Chains A and B, each alone.
Chain A
Amino acid sequence: MDVAALTKRFGEQFALANVAFDIHAGEVLGIIGPNGAGKTTLLEGVAGLLPMDSGDVRWQGRSLPVAQRRNSIFYLPDGLRPYQDQYVARVLAFFAGVYRAPRAQVALAIERLALAPVLQKRVRALSKGFGRRLMLAIGLLTPQPVLVMDEPFDGFDLRQTRDVVHMLRELAAGGRTLVLAIHQLADAERVCDRFLLLADGRVLARGTLDELRSRTARPRASLEDIFLALT
């Protein structure tokens, strides 16, 4: 998938200015940047949920119209609690039913995200961590080749984050492409193959950790050091 020159303005202010990147099958791309950098705007633009002023998203070399993005991309927004008055089991059953997910896939998603204890709870009663797990489970039930997630580790403790990182790596190893907006740089460093560093809606840098180290001439620097050096 290629994202070419996405631009979005709110009034006179650029939220995104000619943002471009590409991503390959089975790759995990981390979009990092300070608050207000345009990460969520970029993800919503890529998913076709926010109209862009200009730019294009291409899939296998062809332009992907907004109306067709949902065939290739599924986006999990940050902080969303879907269908708060419904029981977790019913929400999962709904998405599994829509995508005709096999029972084994549903059972696996519940098991991997340890959702069994809350299946009979209403979504509004879930803790932040379980709410996030529910969203991840929905992501696991969708069939689109590209899964876009906004802050997938928000609300998880250390152990849970490690488990989710492991799960996402397995997902990518299975051929699914992941685009993750992450503000916790240590988590991003563990899960992502490549990075796109955004600030004020502009791309400051992109590449693997090693490429970013070379660019900043800090061969042993962590992602956090690179981030601080570039912003």
Chain B
Amino acid sequence: MPSRETIVARRAPLRPLLAKEIREIVAGRALWILLLLTCPLVGYSFFQAVSLYAESSTAAQQSPELAVSLSPLDGVLVPTFGASYVAVTLLFPFVAIRVLGQEKESGTLRLLVQLPYRTSTLIAAKLAAIFAAIMLVSVPALATLAWWTSLGGHLSAPETSNLVAGHVLYGLLVGAIALFAAAATDSTATAAIVALAFTIGSWVLDFTIAGRPGILEWLSRLSLTQILRSFEQGMLTAAVALGVIAAIGGFATLAGIWLSPGVAAHVKLARSSICVLATVVVLALVVQIGFARDVTEDRRNSFPAADARALAKLSEPLRVSVHLAPEDPRFIDLQRNVLSKLARAMPDTTIRLAAARQPVATGTGDEGYGQIEFSYGARTDVTRSTSPREILPLLYGLAQVPVPRPDPGGGYPGYPLVADAQVTLPFFFGALPLLIAWAWWLSRRPPQRGFVVSKETTK
């Protein structure tokens, strides 16, 4: 039998709560200032990216081979959205903290927690407001997509939507961290420090220890920036997307635990420990999901279609033993060009890193260092090449299947575009900021007389 609380919680309408959360985030100056700052930042990045793309395109017009390397995703979208990423990393925590920090600092939280909503509903409403805010903050970046197509640029729907989804997920994660920081601390200033410690801290983590061996390599994977990397490379990876969603859920649950003022600190700590443990378990399970799709138009993360089909037909397990240290540039090259593609084309592939560190350059070191050993069935072959052009024929040789013929035509043509983005500057430096200022002014207008007894209350 449901408790009375359950019944009351079910009956409480969500609309006023959602409207209040969105009004609260819109009422703060932080959102509008962030939007106004993002306009020129994104606009100038877009202008520069298009200019550089146009320069490369000029050369590519005389040489079709050069055109193949011109992808709007790398040339324009990633650098443009990168500017939005910087703004979100550094400034969005201040916007997201407001959804709870203001209520906590003013004492209004003591009214909020008495309302007939479950804590999870209160947190979900706040996350919804954060989502609305991140969509608003994305407006300048999304406007560049419209400008790019209007300049004659090409957009691939799967890779563009994948990139946008990555940035939205990243923004939501930053928002969830800020929400937790606001719930766990007493003032918005402290919450901002905690949230920035996560965002900027993981940035530093990414810069300083990425590519280092052992535990440092593992630590660098916790960086928030790493999340975006796979989306920017045009990969839709279930482990990354679901991992981010699990992390958002974990931080939101932690925020819920620390929201209730009527619960003793030691109880909150105990519940938080369980929550962190549960999130870690979910993350550990999620990273096991192998599903990944290359959504790029040029299939840069995959072998050519004919090779992918041929490799998929190889039924026996493949074992790869790499005698390279993880920080060795050859290993990074091999990982990017061969191993990651191979793991998706042949799911039954085991990769073993046989060398933990590079030998000292004395000439008397490990002779086998640099070798990559492939074992398929009972046959084994060794190479020192990290190029798929050498490794794929080696694999076909091991499997005793013929080298597939490339598919005729239909290759990626490349999308060179010589365009002048000067025309967009007045929009990003003038029209859009004015539009945002007008929306800000609209949001600050008082309600009409009679509003309180006519619009939002029941008859």
Asked whether B108 lies within 8 Å of A80 as measured between CB atoms, the reply is yes
Asked if B12 CB lies within 8 Å of chain A CBs, one says yes
The number of inter-chain residue pairs (CB within 8 angstroms) is: 130
Q: Are A89 and B447 in contact (CB under 8 A)?
A: yes
Q: Which one of B12, B28, B262 has the greatest number of beta carbons of chain A within 10 Å?
A: B262
Interface residue tally of chain A, by bracket?
Answer: 35 or more
Give which listed residue, B28, B113, B454, B457, contacts A97 with CB less than 8 A: B457
Question: Which residues of the partner chain A approach B423 to less than 8 Å between Cβ atoms?
Answer: none
A70 at the interface (CB under 8 A from B): yes
* CB neighbours of A174 from chain B (8 A): none
C-alpha gap A81/B102 in the complex (Å): 11
Q: How many residues of B contact A (CB 8 A)?
A: 43
B20 on the A face (CB < 8 A): yes
**B:1-55 near A, CB below 8 Å:** 3-5, 8, 12-13, 15-17, 19-20, 23-24, 27-28
- For window 71-120 of B, CB contacts with A under 8 Å fall at 102-103, 106-108, 110-111, 113-116
Q: Give residues 78-95 of A contacting B (CB, 8 Å).
A: 79-87, 89-90, 92-94
- B451 interfacial by beta-carbon distance below 8 Å: yes
B446 and A87 form a contact (CB under 8 A): yes
Q: Chain A residues near B28 (CB, 8 Å)?
A: 85
Residues of B within 8 A of A100 (CB): 13, 457-458
Let me know if A97 and B15 touch, CB within 8 A: yes
Q: Which of these, A49, A94, A138, contacts B113 with CB under 8 Å?
A: A49
Residues of A within 8 A of B116 (CB): 70-71, 98-99
Check if A71 sits within 8 Å of B5, measured CB to CB: yes
B453 near A: Cβ within 8 Å? yes
Q: Is B389 an interface residue (CB 8 A)?
A: no
Q: Say which residue of A74, A83, A93, A121 sits within 8 Å of B455 (CB atoms).
A: A93
**Minimum distance in angstroms from A60 CB to a CB of chain B:** 12
**Chain B residues, CB < 8 A from A71:** 4-5, 8, 116
A-facing residues in B418-459 (Cβ within 8 Å): 446-447, 449, 451-459
Tell me whether A92 and B452 are in contact (CB under 8 A): yes
Task: Find out whether the CB atom of B110 lies under 8 angstroms from the CB atom of A80.
Answer: yes
A96-B457, A120-B446 given; A85·B27 CB < 8 A: yes
In the assembled complex, A67 has its CB within 8 A of some CB on chain B:
yes
Partner of B263, one of A51, A70, A94: A51
The CA of A158 and the CA of B108, in the complex, are separated in Å by: 28
Complex CA distance for A51 and B455, rounded to whole angstroms: 38
On whether the beta carbons of A102 and B457 are closer than 8 Å, the reply is: yes
Chain B residues contacting A77 (CB-CB under 8 Å) are 107, 110-111
Contact A101 B115 (CB under 8 A): no
* Complexed CA–CA distance, A103 and B458 (Å): 6
Determine the chain B residues whose CB is within 8 A of the CB of A70 once the complex forms: 5, 113-116
Q: Does A47 contact B (CB under 8 A)?
A: yes
Bound CA–CA A119/B449 (angstroms): 8
- Asked whether, in the complex, the Cβ of A66 is within 8 Å of the Cβ of B23, the reply is no
Residues on the B chain within 8 Å of A67, using CB: 5
Known interface pairs A49-B113, A103-B454; A98-B27 also in contact (CB < 8 Å) = no
* Complex-state Cα separation, A89 to B451, whole angstroms: 7
Q: Does B411 contact A (CB under 8 A)?
A: no
Contact of A81 among B16, B23, B106, B262 (CB under 8 A): B106
A98 touches B13 (CB 8 A): yes
Q: Quick check: B17 and A98 within 8 Å, CB to CB?
A: yes
- The 8 Å CB contact of B456, one of A68, A83, A97, is A97
| B261 in contact with A49 (CB, 8 Å) | yes
Q: Is A48 an interface residue (CB 8 A)?
A: yes
A48–B114 Cα distance when bound, in Å, is 9
B264 within 8 A of A: yes
Report whether A83 and B24 are in contact in the complex, using a CB–CB cutoff of 8 Å.
yes
Q: Please give the distance in Å from B198's CB to the nearest CB on chain A.
A: 26
> Which single residue of chain B is at the shortest CB-CB distance from A81?
B106
Tell me whether A47 and B106 are in contact (CB under 8 A).
Answer: no
How many angstroms between the C-alpha atoms of A53 and B114 in the bound complex? 21
> Are B457 and A74 interface neighbours, CB within 8 A?
no
Residues from chain A with Cβ under 8 Å of B451 in the complex: 89-90, 93, 119
User: Given A67-B5, A71-B8, A110-B452, do A93 and B24 touch, yes or no (CB 8 Å)?
Assistant: no
- Beta-carbon contact of B13 and A90 below 8 Å: no
Shortest beta-carbon distance from A52 to chain B in Å: 9
Given A66-B262, A68-B5, A87-B447: A102 touches B459 (CB 8 Å cut-off): yes
Contact B108 A83, beta carbon cutoff 8 Å: yes
Measured between C-beta atoms, what is the minimum distance from B108 to chain A in Å?
A: 4
Interface residues of A in 112-144 (CB under 8 A from B): 119-121, 138
Task: Check A85–B24 contact: CB distance below 8 A.
Answer: yes
Residues of B within 8 A of A (CB): 3-5, 8, 12-13, 15-17, 19-20, 23-24, 27-28, 102-103, 106-108, 110-111, 113-116, 261-264, 267, 446-447, 449, 451-459
Closest 3 pairs between A and B when the two form their complex, measured CB to CB: A97-B16, A93-B456, A85-B27
Instruction: Given A84-B102, A96-B458, output 8 extra A-B contacts at Cβ < 8 Å.
Output: A50-B261, A68-B4, A83-B24, A85-B24, A89-B452, A103-B459, A119-B452, A120-B447
- List 27 A–B pairs whose Cβ atoms lie within 8 Å, in order of A's numbering: A44-B110, A48-B262, A49-B114, A50-B262, A68-B3, A68-B5, A70-B115, A71-B4, A71-B5, A71-B116, A75-B110, A77-B111, A80-B110, A80-B111, A83-B20, A83-B103, A83-B106, A85-B27, A93-B16, A94-B19, A96-B458, A97-B13, A97-B457, A98-B12, A99-B116, A101-B458, A102-B458
